[in-house]
């Protein structure tokens, strides 16, 4: 064991660095899904579409503004603003026009409404952005790289992936935690998450909370997409790929738990990057293995609370 660490300790260190940045992205997408699920009790399959639209929009807006002389440093704020814009426009439209009609319906129906929306948005993306890969990487290039020592060698990492992605994820986590615990609106959201009936009985305007939460969740999905756009080429189908992993995160994290989502993303991000180093064929199934193991030990998810049924 000690010998193994001696041989592979350095690699493990690299895996850690890679795992952090991938965990950051996983978290940003999954936390929005989890927040929406906690409050609305709807697993939003179209969350992946919002991710994709966020990515495409951020790239398009970035390309448009760069062409008109936007300085390179402004590309990172542009990513964040694009995401906010996408969420602020699409969130309320989807919640008002679609989700509001089905809150009283069965879980499966709610799931399918978002599945239908996912199918529609998949084609909408294609109509708007075409099928050729789109990429706009000013943000990544402007930040440059940093050489991380690796024995006698060194490994260049992009500052964007090493610092910006985990950084924004941490800021989001801390900001969300502060918002949910310390602000009135945040506490209302938590109250609705923990006990919907009691909260509405206390006179909380559930409709407003739902609208707010969903919009917020949509912004987070779009933010995840926007932040992935500097490093990834955007093609049809990226939403479908991303959302599956987020499902696993939500179930593992526990209902509406943001800290749970953070820890789960970290485990999955690290698990995957370690797998790439030592057993690449396992990489794809690592998140599911983690999910199954966690749920075996904690059936309600990492940070989930057992819902006691009153009898």
67-126 residues near another protein, rule: CB under 8 A? 98, 101-102, 105-109, 111-113, 115-120, 122-124, 126
User: At what angle are helices 165-182 and 2-40 packed, to 10 degrees?
Assistant: 40
Task: Give the range of 67-75, 77-85, 88-96, 292-300 binding another protein by CB under 8 A.
Answer: 292-300
Quick check: 21 binds another protein (CB under 8 A)? Answer: yes
Quick check: 161 binds another protein (CB under 8 A)? Answer: yes
Quick check: 63 binds another protein (CB under 8 A)? Answer: no
From the list 65, 70, 81, 137, which residue makes contact with another protein (rule: CB under 8 A)? 137
Compose the 178-197 pattern: x for residues touching another protein by CB under 8 A, - for all others: --------------------
| Minimum gap (Å) between residue 73 Cβ and another protein | 17
From the list 78, 257, 264, 273, which residue makes contact with another protein (rule: CB under 8 A)? 273
Place of tokens 């493990």: 12
- In terms of Cβ atoms closer than 10 Å to its own Cβ (0-12, 13-18, 19+), residue 106 is exposed
From the list 93, 241, 293, 305, which residue makes contact with another protein (rule: CB under 8 A)? 241
Quick check: 288 binds another protein (CB under 8 A)? Answer: yes
**Residue 275 in contact with residue 282, Cβ under 8 Å?**
yes
From the list 164, 192, 251, 266, which residue makes contact with another protein (rule: CB under 8 A)? 251
Quick check: 237 binds another protein (CB under 8 A)? Answer: yes
Quick check: 223 binds another protein (CB under 8 A)? Answer: no
Applying CB under 8 A, the site for another protein has a residue count of 89
| Minimum gap (Å) between residue 24 Cβ and another protein | 11
Task: Give the range of 81-89, 136-144, 183-191, 208-216 binding another protein by CB under 8 A.
Answer: 136-144
> Please, which residue, 65 or 98, has the CB nearer to another protein?
98
Cα 173 → chain centroid: 11
Quick check: 156 binds another protein (CB under 8 A)? Answer: yes
> Please, which residue, 88 or 295, has the CB nearer to another protein?
295
| Minimum gap (Å) between residue 291 Cβ and another protein | 5
From the list 12, 84, 89, 295, which residue makes contact with another protein (rule: CB under 8 A)? 295
């Amino acid at each position: 064991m000690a010998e193994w660490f001696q041989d592979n300790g350095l690699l493990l260190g690299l895996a850690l660095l890679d795992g952090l940045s991938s965990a950051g992205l996983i978290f940003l997408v999954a936390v929005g899904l989890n927040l929406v699920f906690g409050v609305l009790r709807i697993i939003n399959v179209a969350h992946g579409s919002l991710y994709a639209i966020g990515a495409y929009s951020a790239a398009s807006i970035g390309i448009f503004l760069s062409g008109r002389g936007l300085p390179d440093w402004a590309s990172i704020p542009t990513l964040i603003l694009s995401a906010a814009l996408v969420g602020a426009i699409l969130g309320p439209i989807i919640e008002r026009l679609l989700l509001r009609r089905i809150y009283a319906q069965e879980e499966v129906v709610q799931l399918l409404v978002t599945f239908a929306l996912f199918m529609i948005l998949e084609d909408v993306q294609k109509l708007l952005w075409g099928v050729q890969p789109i990429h706009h990487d000013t943000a990544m290039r402007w930040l440059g790289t940093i050489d991380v020592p690796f024995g006698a060698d060194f490994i260049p990492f992009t500052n964007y992936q090493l610092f910006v992605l985990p950084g924004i994820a941490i800021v989001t986590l801390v900001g969300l935690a502060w918002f949910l615990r310390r602000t009135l609106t945040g506490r209302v959201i938590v109250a609705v998450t923990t006990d919907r009936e009691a909260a509405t009985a206390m006179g909380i305007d559930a409709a407003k909370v739902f609208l707010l939460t969903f919009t917020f969740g949509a912004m987070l999905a779009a933010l995840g997409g926007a932040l992935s756009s500097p490093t990834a080429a955007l093609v049809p189908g990226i939403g479908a790929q991303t959302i599956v992993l987020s499902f696993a995160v939500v179930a593992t994290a526990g209902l509406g738990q943001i800290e749970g989502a953070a820890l789960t993303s970290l485990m999955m991000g690290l698990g995957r990057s370690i797998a790439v180093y030592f057993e690449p064929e396992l990489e794809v199934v690592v998140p599911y293995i983690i999910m199954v193991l966690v749920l075996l030990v904690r059936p309600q998810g990492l940070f989930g609370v057992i819902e006691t049924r009153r009898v």
